[in-house]
Structure 1
Amino acid sequence: MKKITLNEQEAALVIKNKKIVNVLFAGTYWFFLGEKIEKFNTSQEFPKLYQGIFDNDHLKNYLEIITVADDELVLKFQNNVFDSVLTAGVYAFWKDKNPFQFQKISITNYITNEVSKVILEKPQLNLYVRNYRIESYEKGLLIVDGKFVELLDTGNYFWWKNSQVITAVKGDTRQQNMEVNGQEILTKDKVQLRLNFAIQYQIVDFVKAFAENKEFENQLYIIVQMALRTLVGTMTFDELMDQKSKIAETISLEIMQKVNRLGVKIIDTGLKDIILPGEIRDIMNQVLIAEKKAQANSIMRREETASTRSLLNTAKLMDENQMLYKLKEMEYIEKIAEKINTISVSGRDNIVSELKQIFTK
């Protein structure tokens, strides 16, 4: 005979002739030499010793059998703290002897509402969970098996990995810019121009933009392009140059209704550049130079007229007022005297009278 002692966290199978004949827990036991003893830790998963062991009448009453199907997962918790994931298979744990708790999850549907996000973020679940994040300036669309399901607001989303095809499309809620550049267009009078146009827009209906329209940005570009070509094609070159400040406003009104079906709101539009052919540009430069010369000549004539009128008024005042005439005369004498460096005097005694005659004649 032989003796065996089991502590509180141990169990033993008594095997005779390759069959389990008894299950033992904490205590001291004696056995015959023909009996085999297998010890186990009751705080751990029961190992799969051989086929059909979980069906043994002596053993199955002491084990908690967990069967996980192909479309299921079991979350294992130890003392209510997440520990690991059990995938498809059969598992066994000692009843009332292990510290584990179990939560069985069906992953047939992609929805993960029955599991906390704190657990879904654990690295042990990375292989079984899809993760998608929508930033504060974004919105998203959830598409399952090619069908639109729901609009996603800001947040962190988790879905089970299964046979369903899941696509999350997201877009920016902020104001965006689009450039419609290098548009070569003929005016009504056959002048070829190249225009650069810009629009500012914002997505206001994400379902229309992403679910009901394909590549809404390309469609928006074409709508603006066609409106620009249509408008310029109905104007002569001179009309275009005279009304270029109104083109953006006209385009904006023209495309307003058309972009609504794209789920987009136009915030602002603007004509950035009108690039003229070389010959037209030279002519325009000549016209501009001529206009500026004419303006300069007009200003010069206006200033000359004003100066002459001022002199005439001064002459009339001095003619009517002898005192004013004398003051003006003295002012000019002072200006002349300032330019004289040296005066040589010779002659008679009355020098002061002679100087006066020099300056007053």
Structure 2
Amino acid sequence: MFHKVTIQTDQRGIQFTKGSYKRYLQPGTYRFSPLSGSKVEILDVTKPFAIAGKDLLLFLKDDQLLQDLDVIDVPDGELALRYEDGKFLGVLTSGKYAFWNLYKQNRFVRVDLRKPELSPDIDPAIVPKLSGYVQIMDVAEHEAGVLYYNHVLQRELEPGRYVFWKSPVSVTVKTLDMRKQQLDMTGQEIMTEDKVPLRLNFVCQYKIVDPLKTLRIRSFEEQMYILLQLILREYVGTLKLDDLLRMKQEIAVFVLSSLHGKQADYGVEFLSSGLKDIILPGDIKDILNTVLLAEKRAQANLITRREETASTRSLLNTAKLMDENQTLFRLKELEFLEKICEKIGTISLTGGGSLLEHLNALLKPQAEKA
């Protein structure tokens, strides 16, 4: 009795005879004798071509079968992105694959992992579906990025998102902050020309303008600190303490000018600098306070003497005027009498006469009394 096999329109058959590939079967009904040792593997043409336990190479010599298949061979070091009717379906790693082309159109995009960055022809919309195959690097708006492959410099990166394949090539992105930054020098001990030890608090502001040059400097911030330290020592060491205290504003100008001469070597632009504090030793501070107190006392005494002299001169001028003008002298007497009366609660009169007569007697010129 014959064994009947029916293959539907969305199916194809692969006939094996005694375990060996015999032929490719189109849709239809087939009958096989039980004694023939034939077996038919029915495949769904909407799924990839694969037969368990059989190598694909076994079937690729059949030209009729090859017409209905799209075969792709992915070598080591590459990936292939598989699209079906324009829709992304997945990633193919190294190996050989076959897909039916009977009802759908297959397209493959090859990826060379020796070039880790995603090429522009790959739609960014599929990146979330590639999570196991890619790594994402972000460069913020205020940053600049520098790209390295296997620790070898490639190029500078503008702000944005970059996607790289996970591959044998090591990908590193170093970022640098391009905003204005501040370098603080706190409590720097320096000795003046007259051997007075003091401490300075200094600050300078800068921004990176050449990231590639900056990254070539090992311990960049530490070397910037040393540069600032040496410039301060060069300037302060040539000044005596009194000169330093008098020329505080000029320190910032000198330091900024010196930094401008070095900024190209560091890939930065120095924007400003300033001296925040000069911290003196306790004994020096006491001496300066004593000197300052003596100076202020001398200034106060000078002002007092000046005011006393001016007051005496004013009294002398007033006396001359009253001596030359008896009416003015009389008015001055009345003014003082008014002030005296403001301080008296009661007035007692002895003898006859009115209050006015007694007051006239008090104020009568001495010449008339004589």
Please give the TM-score of this superposition, normalised by the length of structure 2.
0.84
Amino acid across the alignment from 2:177:
D
Q: 1:197 to 1:90 in 2, by over 3 A?
A: same
1:69: which partner in 2?
Answer: 75
**Structure-2 change in CA distance of 1:343 and 1:152 (3 Å):** same
* Structure 1 residues 36 and 316, CA gap change in structure 2 (3 angstroms): farther
Q: 1:29 and 2:29 equivalent?
A: yes
5 Å-filtered alignment, 1:148-227, equals 148-211=153-216, 213-227=217-231
| 1:270 paired to 2:274 | yes
1:310-352, Cα deviation, whole Å (9 max, x unpaired): 3333333444444444444333333333333344567546344
Kept in 2, the 8 Å contact 1:82–1:119? The answer is no
Q: Distance in 2 between matches of 1:106 and 1:152?
A: 21
d(CA) in 2 for partners of 1:120, 1:219 = 45
RMSD: 2.8
Deviations along 1:238-261, whole A, 9 cap, x unmatched?
222222221222222233323321
* Aligned residues of 2:206 and 2:269 also touching (Cα < 8 A): yes
Q: Which of 41, 53, 56 is 1:50 aligned to?
A: 53
In structure 1, what is the equivalent of residue 133 of structure 2?
128
For residue 248 of structure 1, the aligned residue among 240, 243, 252 is 252
Question: What is the alpha-carbon distance in structure 2 between the residues aligned to residue 107 and residue 174 of structure 1?
Answer: 35
Compared with structure 1, are the counterparts of its residues 76 and 29 closer, same or farther at alpha carbon in structure 2 (3 Å cutoff)?
Answer: same
1:330 aligns with 2:330: no
Aligned residues, how many? Answer: 358
Q: Which runs of 5+ in 2 are unaligned?
A: 366-370
| 1:237 counterpart residue number | 241
Q: Does the Cα contact within 8 Å between 1:203 and 1:265 map onto a contact in 2?
A: yes
Query: Residue 8 and residue 310 in structure 1: after superposition, are their counterparts in 2 closer, same or farther (change >3 A)?
Result: farther
Percent identical residues: 39
Conserved in 1, the CA contact under 8 Å of 2:185 and 2:202? Answer: yes
Gaps of 5+ in 1: none
Alignment partners' CA distance in 2, 1:98 and 1:64: 11
Whether the 8 Å contact between 2:45 and 2:102 is mirrored in structure 1 is: no
Residue 11 of structure 1 contacts residue 40 of structure 1 at CA under 8 Å; is this kept in 2? yes
Contact between 2:15 and 2:23, CA under 8 Å: does it hold in 1?
yes
Q: Distance in 1 between matches of 2:101 and 2:276?
A: 78
Asked if the contact 2:82–2:89 (Cα under 8 Å) also holds between the matched residues in 1, the reply is yes
Superposition deviation, residue 64 in structure 1: 1.7
Which residue of structure 2 lines up, in the alignment, with residue 294 of structure 1? Answer: 298
Q: Which moved more, 1:169-178 or 1:107-116?
A: 107-116
Please identify, of 295-304 and 273-282, the stretch whose mean Cα deviation from structure 2 is larger: 295-304
Work out the CA distance in 2 between the residues paired with 1:25 and 1:346. 158
- Please give the per-residue CA displacement for 1:176-232, whole angstroms capped at 9, x wherever unaligned: 111222222222222222222221112222222223x32332222212111211222
The Cα offsets for residues 251-303 of structure 1, whole Å up to 9 and x where unpaired, read as 22233323321122221122222221121111111111111211222222222
Check 1:333–1:93 CA distance in 2 against 1; reply closer, same or farther (3 A cut): same
TM-score by length of 1: 0.86
When residues 336 and 102 of structure 1 are mapped into structure 2, their CA distance, relative to the original with a 3 A threshold, is same
2:231/2:258 contact within 8 Å kept:
yes
